Structure 1
């Protein structure tokens, strides 16, 4: 059944339904096991393997390079559908999708050819950027060094989402000259250790724990200077979160409607003999679905802004690229608070449509609030609201790439030199 038939709105392109048909049977298979995996803490290794074999990791890669050539709107709409099935999987693949986006924004080169081939063959990359403890905002402690005739990587990362399922790990590090770099290392290298020690109350199955690098081997061809990455990357990574939230909203709407339809017990003081005939309950169900519908529309609008940034980047006009990147970041920031509020509200009021039995752990309905709250905590919306307000009032452009860590010490001469953009990670 198409999106139109389900009243979720038309897909983002004329060919979208044909593209989605390839993956919807997999999404349904993933959905059917989602609650059991959540309840028994079973990592989605098999489900991610299914998506890899189907070419889902190569969605954004051009067809001429072995991918499916999806536009950003098509891509994010598919992420919404996947997230409605199991938001853990979208989150686990977020680092891979960001890496692929960098590849498709890279000029023709040996690096691009090598990675396009790997991606088209189904290989995926995990994520290893954040450092905790006394980590600095300004530089990574994780670094490469010379050892013998080669290069090795040493350091420790946390929030290494998806790396446990990956073939490669995309690592933020410090180079030989102190420069910021990106390093790709094999997940199965003897010097790489990935531990599923993520202890968050949400997104429990994303393996967002610790990865340690101990003299992990580095191919010099897989070292990239950090400032060459695509300029709308902060907006892109955030929009993966927004699409995940929109998918959670859709799952809430679908599961709540099904639970209300099946419910036979009813309160004596209710407004109808069954929940499915109770106008007050139906009103809440309708509100939940409307929230979910709105989040999809917002995500697709944000995707359009990023598509413009992508096109500008390929055209190579520096001024146009900078402007398009700034607009993409602003639109993403404007969307974040609204999408978050809509989904968090839906994840709470769903319990108003059902009795106390809905609070049973076995129903796993609480996973929606836990997952949405966890995702929306990665990049605090208060900072996004401030950035949007500063642009609206003062015309201040949004900050560029941001990191989290210990802030530089303030000085009497320059108390405003802290990079506020680093406050969100």
Structure 2
């Protein structure tokens, strides 16, 4: 089976001598030798592979990105080591093709057009980042020399020219080039990977190697069209491995057919799965190649949307990598499993050994760790969620994340009502009618009712009175010290009752008090555990069900510490999983227990936000009717909206709550409670 080419050049099949050369490479690859014949490189270069992307007018073949991928995959299908060894050349050539016209570009394009192969290295083993290198370009001796050590130098032993990243005497990043046979250059054969062993990926030692000043370029030649290309070429190698895997599976089926007069159905099914996986990966490569070509044309033309198109192409590469790596590894894994469907164990081992089936899996696994997929997944999330540049600095990333959070915030107005004002509203129907009318058709607010030391005031009772007159408002109970609210069980019961009455529209605000931090932490923990001790979801949804509730999930919380409590609560849990927890206290691990913190200016912020964090809500104190009416008048008009829990309004996730060590079932045996 032959795959259709992506582009129109079809170099691998139309160029004289190339099909035969690829067959020779394919046969040699079965030996899985640790080194490739240099003749393979020189013959591929002579056939024009290295200059596919160079314009025809400058001595190249004028191929587009899809033409390059066609050729690259064909080489990788013959030997993935050989293709990866060309990767540095492909990346360097792409950089020079896109560079502005000038002496530097002309010099390199003429070299590539003449058949030169480019190698080199960037990675260093001492932990240097992508923009910080220990390799130095020095002019102390009067002329530039390069000194340092590069950890990976893929393909360099087969190359004519080498390019290295370095730092010059002024501390600027540069790209320095020199010939492979230059004095002071030592290419080591110390790559010990269990796959892709013939890629010449050993280290390079540079010891005062002389560099022509004309072959020194500023690092900013790593321009818009560069990011994503390394991963694109790795995906090309992977698809080539996939093509070779499918071809090996086809050969395996043919051998089994000849030996047995047919293949077991499981072998044929396995081949079909391999073929499907490889076809899917190849189709993905073609699509991202198309996007990369569109971006390339925009960059060359200086189009206004060139940067956006380049970002789209990079994102597509990262998305494809997350899927294609798994596809090719699965295909290679299934290939190794195919012979196991035969009854003869000796025959199984013979087939695996003769065809060296393990090499495809080893090579694919090695490539998968070359650029970890997890990094790409994070890059996808950063771009799509936070609009973060693909190579953003950590500080810039923090700013972008904070801005994304801010963009998603619609601050909620919090009104703290004086106890005397609440008493007046609950006692005077006329005043409550005025307030209710004033807030009607306005952006909903949260009314916080504070319980203060020495005051005989039950905020929960007052809120229950106000709920039906202010049906769109949210409410909060504000408490300080435990002595003013009683045992945590009593507080949890009052909050749970309000949650049921309000359909999840309440919060608990912990104001500063004299309670020790450890005791405060224990109080919050006990209240939260109690509020989940009887999950609402355990209650039968059908009123006609024979049982009222499933009992397995009703739990004793088994709390110890300052407030030993057994539980469970005698009220079902909140419709919003847990009410929103807000605190003015800032003990060490407060973020584990609360949803929001109250700043000194009254703003409610996320626990991890700094002092300048974006506020999800703003609180203000009110002590008389007129001030409350003025706040209502200042609110924007609001159309009718569907009811929301407070968590939904603030876009807060339901917190993870783990059982305490002493937790246990409330009922000895699981079952149901009878409906009464």
Q: Same fold (TM over 0.5)?
A: yes
1:421: which partner in 2? none
Q: Which has the larger displacement, 61-70 or 44-53?
A: 44-53
Alpha carbons 2:6, 2:286 under 8 Å: kept: yes
Alpha carbons 2:54, 2:61 under 8 Å: kept: yes
Q: List aligned pairs for 1:270-349, cutoff 5 A.
A: 274=261, 276-317=262-303, 319-349=304-334
2:26: which partner in 1? 31
1:386: which partner in 2? 378
Alpha carbons 1:326, 1:397 under 8 Å: kept: no
1:373: which partner in 2? 365
Q: Which has the larger displacement, 354-363 or 171-180?
A: 354-363
Q: Matched residues in 2 for 1:80 and 1:18: separation?
A: 9
Higher relative contact order (CA 8 A, sep 6+): 1
Q: Matched residues in 2 for 1:228 and 1:401: separation?
A: 18
2:207: which partner in 1? 214
Q: 1:16 aligns with which of 10, 17, 20?
A: 10
Q: List aligned pairs for 1:214-253, cutoff 5 A.
A: 214-253=207-246
Alpha carbons 1:333, 1:388 under 8 Å: kept: yes
Change (3 A) 1:348 1:217: same
Q: Is the counterpart of residue 350 in structure 1 residue 300 in structure 2?
A: no
2:197: which partner in 1? 204
Q: Which has the larger displacement, 301-310 or 192-201?
A: 301-310
The Cα of 1:57 is off from its aligned counterpart by 0.8
Residue 54 of structure 2: SS of its match in structure 1?
Answer: coil
The Cα of 1:14 is off from its aligned counterpart by 3.9
Q: 1:396 aligns with which of 383, 387, 403?
A: 387
Q: Matched residues in 2 for 1:113 and 1:401: separation?
A: 31
Q: Matched residues in 2 for 1:358 and 1:234: separation?
A: 44
- Which structure 2 segments of 5+ residues have no match? 341-347, 400-676
Q: Matched residues in 2 for 1:41 and 1:86: separation?
A: 12
2:98: which partner in 1? 105
Q: Is the counterpart of residue 182 in structure 1 residue 175 in structure 2?
A: yes
**How many equivalent pairs are there?**
393
Residue 263 of structure 1: SS of its match in structure 2?
Answer: helix
Change (3 A) 1:398 1:304: farther
Q: 2:128 aligns with which of 125, 135, 138?
A: 135
Alpha carbons 1:80, 1:296 under 8 Å: kept: no
The Cα of 1:186 is off from its aligned counterpart by 1.0
The Cα of 1:109 is off from its aligned counterpart by 1.0
Q: Matched residues in 1 for 2:12 and 2:211: separation?
A: 40
The Cα of 1:114 is off from its aligned counterpart by 1.2
CA RMSD after TM alignment = 2.5
Using structure 1 for the length normalisation, give the TM-score.
Answer: 0.86
> C-alpha offsets along residues 214-263 of structure 1, whole Å, 9 cap, x if unaligned?
11111111111112223232211111100100000010000111012112
1:270: which partner in 2? none
Change (3 A) 1:256 1:360: closer
Change (3 A) 1:209 1:15: closer
Change (3 A) 1:244 1:401: farther
Alpha carbons 2:35, 2:199 under 8 Å: kept: no
Q: Matched residues in 1 for 2:15 and 2:273: separation?
A: 28
Residue 303 of structure 1: SS of its match in structure 2?
Answer: helix
Q: 1:95 aligns with which of 80, 88, 94?
A: 88
Residue 170 of structure 1: SS of its match in structure 2?
Answer: strand
Q: Matched residues in 1 for 2:110 and 2:233: separation?
A: 24
Residue 70 of structure 1: SS of its match in structure 2?
Answer: coil
The Cα of 1:7 is off from its aligned counterpart by 5.1
Q: Matched residues in 2 for 1:265 and 1:24: separation?
A: 27
Q: Matched residues in 2 for 1:382 and 1:78: separation?
A: 29
Q: Matched residues in 2 for 1:300 and 1:100: separation?
A: 21
2:64: which partner in 1? 71
Change (3 A) 1:248 1:358: farther
The Cα of 1:399 is off from its aligned counterpart by 1.5
The Cα of 1:361 is off from its aligned counterpart by 4.7
Change (3 A) 1:401 1:238: farther
Residue 305 of structure 2: SS of its match in structure 1?
Answer: helix
Q: Matched residues in 2 for 1:15 and 1:54: separation?
A: 13
* Structure with max Cα Rg: 2
Change (3 A) 1:239 1:138: closer
- Which structure 1 segments of 5+ residues have no match? 1-5, 267-272, 403-407, 418-425
Alpha carbons 2:118, 2:163 under 8 Å: kept: yes
> C-alpha offsets along residues 59-106 of structure 1, whole Å, 9 cap, x if unaligned?
111111111111001101111111000000111010011000011101
Q: Matched residues in 1 for 2:252 and 2:198: separation?
A: 24
The Cα of 1:148 is off from its aligned counterpart by 3.6
